[in-house]
Every structure is written in structure tokens, then in C-alpha cells.
Structure 1
Amino acid sequence: IDGELSRLQESYATISEKEGPAEKGDVINYTVLKFGGKDVTKKEESSYKIGQETYGKSFDKALISAQKDDEITATVELGPQDEKDKSEKKEMLLKINEVKKVDLPELNDDFAKEIGEFDSLKVLKDEIKKGLNEQISQRNRDQVKSLILQKIIETNPFEVPESFVDNYAEEMMKKYTQQQKNFDTEALAQMKNIYKSYAEKEIRVYYVMNKLKELEKVDVTDEEIENEIKQSAEKMGMDLDKYKELYKKQINKEEIKENLISDKIMNEIERTVKFKKQFKEKTEKKENKKEEK
């Protein structure tokens, strides 16, 4: 809940130029002069908020105490943030162009009223808690779905065209490379190798789901699609007609239909699946303790 409140505060924060050294929470405007020991020919400005650790803890640590016009060396970690052991590290020489201070609004009843139809900060917290519980439930459902699909793929191996994997890996990298535009060819190649394993997994899941849809012949009615739209409106506390008008460009009935078909198929498979708890790690620890004795 506190994390969500912090994100809301940041959304309504005011940013102003700062004199003096940078601290955690400040925004740095910088230019990369060297990357991996090589001069950067196309020098572009980038912004970064200290404390995000998007490029690793070392990168953020190097920015602490930096001031305008300083040149500092920072280490950046390339690759998905959830698998640090697979990331590549590169040194960058940065020129600090500007340090900005972020002023957060005070968390009180007035703030809750300002950001939406909430009578008090307590009501806002209750809504956040409700939303987080829904997210946790959805993550649990997604985890079950992922385990089932993983097992199906393991027991039904098939080849995936290398060109598909390459193209999808490049698409996955785009968001990351757009944030940091100064990667050289070598760094991009290293990143691509990391993302290719993720791309291959997602492509296999796509193929499996399409095959399941072909075999199961599941139908979805217009009423079910309409009900899904209604639930989305209710989650946002909006009137259905108002929601449809406001989000008419985002409401894709064909996409909703495909998602409902996938959910029905996975729910049916889940009813036939038995999950077993793994005790291997605990057993190994007990055996190690016995050996130590």
C-alpha cells in the first residue's frame, strides 16, 4: 500500500532545478561521453531518477553527490532486472547537465480528494488494498497458467524458427534501448542473447495456446464479452456508458474474446491437473545438517 501511495505521490510531484550535490530521489539529466571505454559519437541527453536501480545499484551509487557539469564514471547492468546473474556490466563516462529536485505532495485527505473521488486518505488506502488483492489473485492465476503451459511444452517439444526468436527479442529490447540510447554494437549483441531465451519461451507459449484453441473449439458469447467490459468499468468505479465512451479506442472486443477463450481453456485444463509441493530443498538442507553433525 505504501509503495502504491509513493507512486501516486510521484505522479503529482513538482520538479525544480537544484543547486548542490544529487541525492536519492533527485532527477539527473546527463549525456554519455564514453561507453565500454569507447567514445560515443551520437551524444544524446537522458534523464534518470536516482533510486530506481534500473541499471543496477552501482549506477545509482555513482550518481549520488554528483553536481552540474561533473564528469563521472558509472557501471551499468544490461539485461532483464529479474535475473541479475545473467546481466552484462559496462562502464560509462557521464557528463552531468542538470540536477533536479523532486518535491512530493503531502499524503493527507486533501491529496486523496485531489487525485480522485476519495473522501479521505483512509478511503484511498482501502481502494489501493482492494486493487492489490486483485493483482495478487491475478498473479497467482497467471503462475498456475504458466506452470501448466511449461509442462505442456516440456512433454511436447517442437522447433521454433530462429528468425522468429531474433525478431521478437529485438522487439522486447526496444523499450530498454530507448531509455538508454548510447549502447554500442557489442553491448546490443550481448543484450540480444539475454533476451532471446525469454523470446523463445513466449513464442512457444503462443504456439501452444493457438493449438489448444484449435483443438478445444471454445466459444465466447457477445454477452460474456459485454460482461468483461462491464467488470472493467466497475473496477474503475465508472458508469458503463461513460467507460465505453472514454475508452472506446482501447476496447478491443476481438482481443477480449481471445483472452476469454484462453481463460476457459486453461480453467478446464487446471481442473484436471494435480500440483505437488517440492520438498527437495528442505530435504537437502536436513541431509547437510546431518553431515555437519
Structure 2
Amino acid sequence: MNVSVVDLSANQKKLHVEIPADKVRKELEAKYRDLSKQVRIKGFRPGKVPRSILKSYYGKTVEHEVSSQFIQDTFSEALREADLHPLVQADVSETRFDDNGAFVYVAVVDVSPPFEVEGYKGLEVQKSPVKIDEDQVQAELERIREQNAQLLLVEEDRAIQEGDVVLTDFVPSLDGKVFEKGKTEDFMVEVGKHAIHPEFDGHLIGHHAGESVSFELDYPEDTPTPEIRGKRVHFDVQIKEIKKKELPELNDELARTVKFDTLDALKESIRERLRKREEERISVEVRQQITDQLLSKVQLDLSSKVIEREVDRLIDLLKNQFESQGLKIDTSRFNTPEIRGEYRPQAVRNLSQRLIFQQIAKQENIELTDEDLEEIYRGIALYARMDVEKVKAEYADSSLVEQAKEGKIQEKVLKLLEETAVYKELPDEGVNTNTD
């Protein structure tokens, strides 16, 4: 095939592809030959219908099938030959069969405008010191104690109080009718956790085992359960038992329940986990500063089509978020000019960030190793519950794998930029002189 490119602008190219006449002729002949065996036209035996007759009946359909197949089979190769890297799916704007028998199609390809990134090493950023608060360690130890607590039946006749665990049956009603979906037996209510409703637990305090209590609660419009959203619900609650928590001692025995030999070893493990979490948080802050500086250094001229496609993606993410929470909202309301306008700056930022990191990777010759690719395939296989070799064979060119590759490259670029950054001291409330 013959491939040529015409510059429409810095960010749009016109790709011109011509399939030679002999190849087109062979494909058309094969199509008509197959068609002749399949169709039934009065006056002709199967397989003996002249091509001129077939063309008069089915010419447009055959040409459409052949042209679509040629575009599908050759477009990726044509892009590689022209060294074009589309930012969004290209639109084929023209197709035709020339008088000489060749098939020609034209596509408008949106690409990144050419640019270089300068001054990306040695960026000056602020970095917080890694601080582990012993109160955090103690809070984690208390959480472990809570997880290993025993529930003991309250034998004496006393009222429910904060911290008790109450065994209940309850029946909710809406508009005088039992809400069957919400009927629950033997439900453990930990008073003070507010797991059912912020005000539910408070109605139990002061009552005794064996008592029944009734009350009404108002549910907000964002309640996950659609049937009670924005409704007032009546509850009839039977208090069956009152239990109290008995927390274990903070000692080596408790440590052994979570696979540590001693309490000191458990504490050190907690400190290490908190330290790692704090380092990750600080890294996110540093990377955000680096990204902001890079975006201020490079201004890209992106086509409106590329930006609008990214806006589409962001709005789809918003829709999916609402739908995943079971919220029934008319999602067409998200696709208004006002909302699209609000998302456009974020779309430009996302695209610019992605292209800047790609360009730095190119300038630094950062590529994925065989080990990186194996890690990507293993990760996708684990996520999709699929054999690794199947992922390699069937999904190597999929968008999922491409996104994972892009993310891995970006991670390598950010690591380089972090390592070469120059760290400044923060104000007194968070001074860091360590540049490790």
C-alpha cells in the first residue's frame, strides 16, 4: 500500500492510504465469487450469475464490505509506516474506489504537537519529614485489642450503655407497611458505632434486656438503600441480650494472636507500616509538586477533539461512580455544556501530564524491561483471574495492557524526577533537612 501524510496543523495530520488495484481486484473477485454461490436470482443457476448482474444488485454492499475490511486490516500498519501516534481514535473522512481500480481512504489523525521538555531535573520541591506519632501506634494496638475482644453476657439487670453490644430483632415499616427487605433477626448493635443510622443507637440506651422499643428515623436523600431514601422509617426493636466487650491485655500473648513473638515486635511492625504509609503520602505530595511545575513549563496545543474525548471519559467515570453506589440519577444531566466546561481544564491537565511524561521518557530513553512486562501481565492475570500466558496471547495489544504499560513508564519517570529533585526546608511546623 502507498501511505502519505499531509500536515493540517501541529496537532492534526491527514493520512492518505492507497491499496493497489491488483489487491483490490483480487478481493472484489473473491467477494463476488462467494456471493454468486450464495444468492438466488431468477433465471440463473447458483454459481453462474454474471458479475455484472451481481454488481447491479449488490455492488454497493460488496464495496462497503471490501472497503471496511481493507481499513480494518491496514490502518494500524499505515499509522506505523507514517510514524503517527493518534491520541484518540482517528476518523476516516473519505473512501473511494478510483478509476484505475485502487482503493483509497483518508483519515484525520489527532496527534501530540512536537515539543521538548527542559529543566525537568533538579526541580525544587518541599518535602515533609517522616514522623511517626506514638499515638498512631497506640491507636493501632487498640484496634487489634478490639478485634480480639470477647463478648460477655451482662448477667446483672442493668440498662444499655455506650459501648455495649446488643442482640436485637428489628422490624422497619414504611407508611404503615412492614419493609420486608429490612427485617432483621439476631443483629448485633454495638452502641456508639452508629452502623444502622446516626440516631438508632441512642434509642437503645437506658433500656433493658427483654424490652421492646419503637421509634422513627429520617433517612437522607443520599441513603444507599433506594427504598428508604428521603423517607421516615418506623422501627420496632426487640432487645434480646446485652453484652459487654472484654478487651485482652496488651502483652506478648496478644502479639502472638497476630503472628508476632513479642509485643515489642508487634509495635515495631506497626511503626514500620506507618512509616511506609507516611513515606507514600509524602511521595504523593512531592510528585504533585513536580507535576505542577512541569505543567507550568510546557503549554501544549491540543485539538478540541482530543480534549472533548477526555471530557467524555471523565463524565463517564462520574456516571459510573453514581451507578456503582446504586444512585438512580438521570445521567444525561451530567452531559450539559456547563458541566463539560467545568471538566475541560481537568481534561487538558490530564492529557498534558500524560504527554509530558511520555516525552521525558523518550528523551531519557526510559523503556519497559522484560521484567516490567512480566509484572504487568501477572497483575492483569491476577485481576482478571486468568492465566498469564492467555493474557499474553489474547490481550497483549489490548487497551488494558497499553494503559498498564503507560502507567509503568510514568512511574519510572516520576521516580527519576524524585531522585533528581532538590528538596527545600519546610516552615517550622514541618522542617525537613533530609534529602534522602
TM-score calculated relative to the size of structure 1: 0.52
Superposition CA RMSD, Å: 5.5
Look up the match of 2:142.
Answer: 6
Q: CA deviation at 1:126?
A: 1.8
Q: How far, CA to CA, are the matches of 2:368 and 2:219 in structure 1?
A: 47
Which amino acid counterpart does residue 278 of structure 2 have in structure 1?
I
The question of whether the paired residues in 1 share the 8 Å contact of 2:160 and 2:207 is answered with: yes
The structure with more radius of gyration: 2
Look up the match of 1:24.
Answer: 163
Look up the match of 1:71.
Answer: 214
Gaps of 5+ in 2: 1-136, 224-228, 334-338, 389-400, 428-436
Q: CA deviation at 1:112?
A: 0.9
Q: Do the aligned partners of residues 50 and 39 (structure 1) sit closer, same or farther apart at CA in structure 2, a change above 3 Å counting?
A: same
Q: CA deviation at 1:110?
A: 0.9
Name whichever structure is richer in helix by fraction: 1
Look up the match of 1:230.
Answer: none
Equivalent residue of 1:70, what SS? strand
Q: How far, CA to CA, are the matches of 2:192 and 2:173 in structure 1?
A: 23
Look up the match of 1:168.
Answer: 321
Q: CA deviation at 1:62?
A: 4.5
Look up the match of 1:128.
Answer: 270
Q: CA deviation at 1:76?
A: 5.7
Which amino acid counterpart does residue 94 of structure 1 have in structure 2?
F
**Which of 412, 420, 430 is 1:264 aligned to?**
412
Q: How far, CA to CA, are the matches of 1:145 and 1:274 in structure 2?
A: 12
**How does 1:112-151 map onto structure 2 within 5 Å?**
112-116=255-259, 118-145=260-287
Equivalent residue of 1:138, what SS? helix
Look up the match of 2:182.
Answer: 43
Partner deviation per Cα, 1:200-259 (whole Å, 9 max, x = no partner): 89x9698777656655465333556899xxxxxxxxxxxxxxxx9xxx957999798766
Q: CA deviation at 1:74?
A: 4.3
Look up the match of 1:220.
Answer: 368
Q: Do the aligned partners of residues 93 and 5 (structure 1) sit closer, same or farther apart at CA in structure 2, a change above 3 Å counting?
A: farther
Q: How far, CA to CA, are the matches of 2:200 and 2:410 in structure 1?
A: 41
Q: How far, CA to CA, are the matches of 1:60 and 1:121 in structure 2?
A: 35
Which amino acid counterpart does residue 172 of structure 2 have in structure 1?
L
Q: How far, CA to CA, are the matches of 1:63 and 1:40 in structure 2?
A: 21
Q: How far, CA to CA, are the matches of 2:235 and 2:285 in structure 1?
A: 40
Q: Do the aligned partners of residues 17 and 127 (structure 1) sit closer, same or farther apart at CA in structure 2, a change above 3 Å counting?
A: same
Look up the match of 1:83.
Answer: none
Partner deviation per Cα, 1:103-124 (whole Å, 9 max, x = no partner): 33222111112221x2321221
TM-score calculated relative to the size of structure 2: 0.38
Q: Do the aligned partners of residues 259 and 54 (structure 1) sit closer, same or farther apart at CA in structure 2, a change above 3 Å counting?
A: farther
Count how many residue pairs are aligned between Structure 1 and Structure 2. Answer: 230
Q: CA deviation at 1:140?
A: 2.1
**How does 1:277-292 map onto structure 2 within 5 Å?**
none
The question of whether the paired residues in 1 share the 8 Å contact of 2:160 and 2:204 is answered with: no
Q: How far, CA to CA, are the matches of 2:290 and 2:194 in structure 1?
A: 33
**Which of 87, 98, 103 is 2:246 aligned to?**
103
Look up the match of 1:179.
Answer: none
Q: How far, CA to CA, are the matches of 2:148 and 2:372 in structure 1?
A: 37
Look up the match of 1:93.
Answer: 234
The question of whether the paired residues in 2 share the 8 Å contact of 1:213 and 1:262 is answered with: yes
Which amino acid counterpart does residue 14 of structure 1 have in structure 2?
Q
Equivalent residue of 1:127, what SS? helix
Q: State percent identity of aligned pairs.
A: 22
Q: How far, CA to CA, are the matches of 2:255 and 2:213 in structure 1?
A: 40
Q: Do the aligned partners of residues 75 and 48 (structure 1) sit closer, same or farther apart at CA in structure 2, a change above 3 Å counting?
A: farther
Q: How far, CA to CA, are the matches of 2:404 and 2:242 in structure 1?
A: 42
Which amino acid counterpart does residue 93 of structure 1 have in structure 2?
H
The question of whether the paired residues in 2 share the 8 Å contact of 1:28 and 1:100 is answered with: yes
